[in-house]
Amino acid sequence: MDDQMAMKLGSRGDRADQLLKDELYQECFDAVEDNLRKRWEATSYKDNDERENIWRMLKALGMVKTQLQSVAQTGQVARQFLVRKASRAIGLNSQNDLPT
């Protein structure tokens, strides 16, 4: 990984982390998830198609959150890469010398 890619991944990770921690995002995500669960619970036992459709929407919603978490984690790894590289460049070789 080169520095430019690490900076890009770090920046994307920061944005993803901010979204995940954003109160409005969390509120909206939770509201959509809650609405889908209520719709799922309210379906008739005969309405398999509707239940499966709602289940797919719940899974897709979860995939969005998982993707954001993955981008945030990749950003953390990229930032650690840059810190280690900079530390080596200035002569901080010991793990104890690295900032956290």
d(CA 60, CA 66): 10
The pLDDT tens digits for 63-95 are 999 999 999 999 999 999 999 988 888 876 555
The pLDDT tens digits for 14-23 are 999 999 999 9
Band (pLDDT 50/70/90 cuts) for residue 44 is: very high
The token duo for 99 is: 């900032």
When pLDDT is averaged across residues 7-15 and rounded to a whole number, the result is: 96
The residues spanned by each domain of the chain are: 3-97
21: nearest Cα among 78, 72, 75: 72
pLDDT at 70: 98
pLDDT at 88: 85
15: nearest Cα among 93, 98, 94, 76: 76
